[in-house]
Amino acid sequence: MAFNGLNSRWYVNKTNPEYIEYVSRIASVSPACAQILINRGIKTSEQIELFLNPDIKKLSDPYDLPDMKKAIVRIMEAKRNNEKILICGDYDADGVTATSIMLEGLRKLSIDTSYFIPNRLTDGYGFGDSGVDKAAAIGAKLIITVDCGISSFDVVARADRLGIDVIITDHHEPSRMLNEKETVLLPEAIAVVNPKISLSLSQQSFLSGAGIAFMVAWALVGNTDDIYELLDLAAVGTSADVVPLIGDNRIFVKEGIKLIRSGQRTGIRALKSVTGIKPDFFKSTFLSFILIPRINAAGRMADAGDVVRLLTTKSEAEAEELALWLNDLNSQRQSIEKIVYNEAMEQISKMDSLEGAIVAASEGWHPGVVGIVAARIAETYYRPTFIFSAKNDLLKGSARSIPSFDIYSGLTECRDLLAGFGGHKQAAGISLYGRNLEGFRQRISEVVLKNLKEDDLTPSTNIDVSVRIADINNELVNEVSRLEPFGNGNEEPLFGAKGLEPVNPRIVGNNHLKMYLKQNGCGIDSIGFDFGVYLEIVGANALIDAVFHPVINEWDGGRYLQLNLKAIRPVINENNDSGLH
């Protein structure tokens, strides 16, 4: 069964009123905003100050990362000996921004540095033999990986046999031997800079590949003033990899967006221009919906090495040419993605059961879009989803999960059926042989059902605070904007209101539902993007409950309050206590 807003369970967070008043007072915000802070675990004066006023001076110490000192010592040795260094990155947005950060950081020290980004179709994912071949060809004596390498045991060993040292900087999960002490298994590199080596969590545990690259660059250069200009790249990589936007990550994105807005980087300025973004205007949501898809398009459809050129060039002409190329690639990606999605949905519709995981595979599906398709299907059916592109007997695919299921841990229980895998709790890359597909389909579904309850497989909507329409004003929206940037770990706050009267509901644009919502004599405009399916519900003159995010909409020279709808439902029982006003 595909899910929509009507299937979702709604939960409203509630806190002791006295405590809300206390946080409201020490943070100098409204009770509604105080409730949002509390929901995110931000309760003390120190936590509130760090969250509301992130600053580069509040970043954690880069030397707190494992093996950082070893890495810096070996890099400075390369500088003294005039050795060439090759940076080996990955082809996604986190990988190319991490590569660009490391490249610019090393070049600030006048170190002879080149880079290599693998091609998805010919080289495969991450740090592989192609990177070692490149290093040998240019005479590099040191390879630094970014956003990859933690599972490249054989590749690191081969580099060593060729007399090439390797420093791994990565944030993906390392392999672990499940024994009494849960031993971490690592490649025999000179240094492995990865916060996930430690079993204890810190804010550094959530860094992206770009975030770790920034930390290495900082440790190399010695102060943040000289690498402040790299924060725009850290912001893109951090947002792209959907890591929690807390602690260091929040600082990266908050400060980086300032640089993106100012247009200080030639390549990003050109990319903004070709997508129609005004030179001095940039919202945090533009990262996820406009810039990152275009940066990712190269790795999905072509050669992502040219993205590093875009991000590091000083030439306006080169930047414009590459930005136009990325924009065109993204359009191609969208067309191909639509075809694969429709074919996958047709295949899924013929399956007997969707009790556990969803597994679909076909020859001809472009490997560059299977991850996006998996994400869309996981959201539609609310099941961990695995989409494979088959070529001969080898299937290469991407997995996307739901919040309640650790997909990396689940794959470890299927290890004997896989040719390889790697990733995070919510996303992974996988390869397997065709003969094992049905066995994998059965095993991963069993793992999902074993680890999850029925409620875990039903989507839920967690509402931060219930309000009345009369409570929504410019001051509240401005307060909420101080909580940006939003993302994983700091989701866009959701407000809920009960018993609303829809006025003049209609479809506008590409299946968007627009209407005026009234409550107790107060009213406000609203829009639900892709909510056309709900027109019948609101057109019956029945009262509704709504979940939304309030914004100030700027249109045609005007500014007015608007609710961006996230979910709606009919008011079934006026007397039931849903927690909404």
495, 464 Cβ separation under 8 angstroms: yes
Return d(Cα 16, Cα 38) in angstroms, integer.
11
Q: Which residues contact 483 (CB under 8 A, 6 or more apart)?
A: 33, 36, 37, 51, 52, 490, 493
* E strand residue ranges, 364-433: 385-391, 394-400, 420-423, 427-433
* E strand residue ranges, 437-494: 460-463, 465-466
Residues in the chain, pLDDT under 50: 1, 575-578, 581
Q: Which residues contact 101 (CB under 8 A, 6 or more apart)?
A: 146, 210, 213, 214, 217, 230, 233, 234, 237
Q: Please tell me whether residue 375 adopts helix, strand or coil conformation.
A: helix
User: What is the structure's pLDDT at 171?
Assistant: 94
Going by DSSP bridges, is the β-strand pair 558-570/544-555 parallel, antiparallel, or unpaired?
antiparallel
DSSP state of 534: G
If phi > 0 it is left, if psi is from -120 to 50 it is alpha, else beta; for residue 168 that is beta
Query: CA nearest 478: which of 371, 566, 551?
Result: 551
Provide the 10 A C-beta neighbour count for residue 536.
9
Q: Structure tokens of 75?
A: 């890099």
* Torsion sign (Cα): 359, 365, 371, 374: negative
Query: CA nearest 291: which of 320, 271, 319, 309?
Result: 271
User: What is the structure's pLDDT at 48?
Assistant: 93
Q: Report the alpha-carbon angle 234-238-244, nearest 5.
A: 140
* Torsion sign (Cα): 492, 201, 207, 422: negative
Q: Structure tokens of 45?
A: 């004066």
pLDDT in tens, 558-570: 788 999 999 999 9
Tokens 């409550």 correspond to: 519
| Residues paired with 493 in a beta bridge | none
10 Å CB burial of residue 418 (0-12, 13-18, 19+) is: middle
